[in-house]
Amino acid sequence: MMWGYGYGFNWLGMALMMIGSLLWIVLLVVIVWALIRWLNHQMRGSIWPTNMIHGSSPTAMDILRQRYARGEIDAVTFEQMRERIEASTAPQPDSRPFTGVR
């Protein structure tokens, strides 16, 4: 004698339980992934760059390199901005005529 709704409903119940179990596993994986990503972001934000001198702020070139390393800008933009920074930080020639006496 069969109890309940028969074998067809029994298979449906097993399938729903398996889907429910898979959803919990996926949820657990997503939570672990999000936690690792959050911790990585927290660690990266708290570490000082190694090229910084005590109490000084990063240079424009340091910031540009960091943005390129993080993928915020592409190689072409990096090169254009690097050339502009190098041109603006290059020593400017003295416009006064040389008199020989200082």
Same domain membership, residue 43 and residue 56: no
Report the percentage of the chain scoring pLDDT > 90.
45
Q: How far is CA 80 from the centre of its chain?
A: 22
Query: What mean pLDDT is reported for the chain?
Result: 80
Same domain membership, residue 56 and residue 43: no
Of how many residues is the chain composed?
102
Same domain membership, residue 40 and residue 57: no
Q: How many domains does the chain have?
A: 2
Residue-wise pLDDT tens digits, 25-70: 999 999 999 999 988 888 776 555 555 555 578 888 999 999 999 9
Same domain membership, residue 15 and residue 38: yes
**Mean predicted confidence (pLDDT) in 1-19:** 71
Could you tell me the residue range of the domain that residue 38 belongs to?
A: 1-47
Does any domain span residue 23? Answer: yes
Same domain membership, residue 73 and residue 58: yes
Token digits for 62?
Answer: 């340091």
Instruction: Answer yes or no: is pLDDT of 100 > 60.
Output: yes
Same domain membership, residue 39 and residue 6: yes
Instruction: Answer yes or no: is pLDDT of 9 > 70.
Output: no
d(CA 23, CA 28): 9
